[in-house]
């Protein structure tokens, strides 16, 4: 028989739930999940054909599985896992997490990434996860690193070690989204390095790198270049949303 204190706790939780009802982050439908079933079916597409290396959407009839851009100029990372395209209305969820401080959305992003990662039984999971680091100034301004928030939960879901200090920034960089694609590589060149304690951890390991959005892939390419330079055997990106090419 439940104790009095247990029953009181149940009533307290029920009261809080009644005062602060949950709702879908997109349509506002009341419920106990951050993204309702209807919105998941409508906006989180599971059958999108993607380049295995950079995850850009491909035409259904394309049999190569590697896009022309990756074939002509291979990025340093080996493959990319994404949960969704960065397009309306999903882009608003990313902005709400990053700039609206809706940290609960990191739970949703990590769950959707987990589901995508586990859907492909042929894809081996990494041995260590890390996250794209923010510069100190941006971290102070924002108060948190959204990629680390996603990575914490994803690591727990997948049972993988997370090392948030594996890669650090050597210097502050301009926000990539504000730059022309031709200037992005210069902006992040030599901007990352492994932490001293991590050099031995990286060697011969499969490393997973977590980020919220991938646009040109320049930042992730630079990080993968550094990881490979220090002996990583394979680098896989885990990104919530991928910007389609236009």
For residues 149-156, give the mean pLDDT.
97
Q: How confident is the model at residue 11 (pLDDT cuts 50, 70, 90)?
A: very low
Q: What is the pLDDT of residues 182-201, one digit of tens each?
A: 667 666 777 899 999 999 99
Architecture of domain 47-242: 3-Layer(aba) Sandwich (3.40)
What number of other Cβ atoms are within 10 A of residue 24's Cβ?
A: 17
Alpha helices, DSSP H, located in 85-160: 90-98, 105-119, 136-142, 146-158
- Beta strand ranges found along the chain (DSSP E): 79-85, 128-131, 161-162, 167-169, 192-194, 206-214, 234-242
pTM of the entire structure?
A: 0.86
Please tell me the distance from the alpha carbon of residue 209 to that of residue 238, in angstroms, as a whole number.
6
Residue 237 CB-half CA count within 13 A: 33
pLDDT of residue 186: 67
In the chain, where the domains are located: 1-43, 47-242
Give the residues across from 88 on adjacent strands.
Answer: none
């Amino acid at each position: 028989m439940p104790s009095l204190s247990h029953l009181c706790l149940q009533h307290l939780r029920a009261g809080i739930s009644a005062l602060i009802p949950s709702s879908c982050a997109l349509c506002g439908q009341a419920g106990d999940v951050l993204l309702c079933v209807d919105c998941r079916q409508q906006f989180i597409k599971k059958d999108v054909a993607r380049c295995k290396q950079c995850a850009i959407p491909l035409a259904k009839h394309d049999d190569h599985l590697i896009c022309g851009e990756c074939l002509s100029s291979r990025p340093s990372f080996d493959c990319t896992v994404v949960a969704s395209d960065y397009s309306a209305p999903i882009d608003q969820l990313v902005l709400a997490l990053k700039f609206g401080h809706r940290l609960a959305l990191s739970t949703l992003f990590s769950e959707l990434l987990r589901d995508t990662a586990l859907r492909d039984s042929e894809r081996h999971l990494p041995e260590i996860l890390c996250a794209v680091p923010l510069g100190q100034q941006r971290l102070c301004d924002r108060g948190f690193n959204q990629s680390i928030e996603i990575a914490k939960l994803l690591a727990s879901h997948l049972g993988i070690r997370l090392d948030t200090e594996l890669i650090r920034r050597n210097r502050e960089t301009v926000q990539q989204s504000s730059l022309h694609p031709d200037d992005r590589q210069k902006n992040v060149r030599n901007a990352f390095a492994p932490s001293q304690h991590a050099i031995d951890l990286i060697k011969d390991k499969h490393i997973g790198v977590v980020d919220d959005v991938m646009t040109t892939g320049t930042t992730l390419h630079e990080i993968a270049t550094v990881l490979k330079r220090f002996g990583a055997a394979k680098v896989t990106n885990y990104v919530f949303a991928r910007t389609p090419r236009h």
